[in-house]
Amino acid sequence: DAGVTQSPTHLIKTRGQQVTLRCSPKSGHDTVSWYQQALGQGPQFIFQYYEEEERQRGNFPDRFSGHQFPNYSSELNVNALLLGDSALYLCASSYGTALTYNEQFFGPGTRLTVL
Amino acid sequence: QQQVKQSPQSLIVQKGGISIINCAYENTAFDYFPWYQQFPGKGPALLIAIRPDVSEKKEGRFTISFNKSAKQFSLHIMDSQPGDSATYFCAASKSNDMRFGAGTRLTVKP
């Protein structure tokens, strides 16, 4: 079992550009959550996908959007990049949406740098 | 909108010592309180977790103490080892929403 995988590992973009990050969940998991982790900070919840729909959203602007595919993999899209979007983007998967009862497994993250 | 406050930011402990990290939360609706361990270049990994119906949970060298009335919980690492050197995050969750603390960088000196 490869666990949660994310691609790419690192990415450098310029302000105003758009970026797509990808996540494959752990085998058997059907729910994907995305987090933004700024340097020296804890992860901040962006949104959660289940059954190809966004189920919960954190305090992030509409520039952040996502998608979940029938095979449960997911994409995070960020439009009109700002310098402040530079961070480690973490994907976590679980079986079911209730994080109180279903352990989340995190991927290694994608390091996004916006210049 | 920080809902989980964590302290200290950094901690240095001698090998064999006790490491203590504290967290406080605001929302009484939270019903699950995990601790995550993160090594450089890796995603966070669940270390230990507690629900508010118990006051303490122990797994090996790791113990969570939970004070519901004070809305505080803490992680104790007994007999700290150099391999425990990592960043530790507390979190609080309700349903499908999880909020993390800012993290504590632990260094265990040999």
**DSSP annotation string for B23-34:** EEE--TT--BEE
- Which of A35, A78, A39 has the alpha carbon at shortest distance from A58? A35
Quick check: B109 pLDDT over 70? yes
pLDDT in tens, B32-87: 999 999 999 889 999 999 999 999 999 999 999 999 999 999 999 999 999 999 99
Provide mean pLDDT across the span B11-37.
Answer: 96
Which residues 60-89 of A have a C-beta within 8 angstroms of B?
none
pLDDT in tens, A54-89: 999 999 999 999 999 999 999 999 999 999 999 999
Chain B residue nearest residue A91, CA to CA:
B43
Minimum-distance CB partner of A56 among B36, B44, B96: B96
- What CATH number does residue A14 fall under? 2.60.40.10
Report how far residue B27's alpha carbon sits from residue B97's, in angstroms, rounded to the nearest whole number: 12
Quick check: B2 pLDDT over 70? no
Residue B48 near residue B59, CB atoms below 8 Å? yes
User: What are residue A13's DSSP bridge partners?
Assistant: A114
Residues from chain B contacting residue A99 (CB–CB below 8 Å): 32, 93, 95-98
- Which of A90, A88, A91, A92 has the alpha carbon at shortest distance from A111? A88
The pLDDT value given to residue A74: 98
Number of domains comprising chain A: 1
Q: How far is B23 from chain A (nearest CA, A)?
A: 13
Note down the domain range covering A39. 5-114
Quick check: B14 pLDDT over 90? yes
The structural domains of chain B, ordered by start, are 4-109 (2.60.40.10)
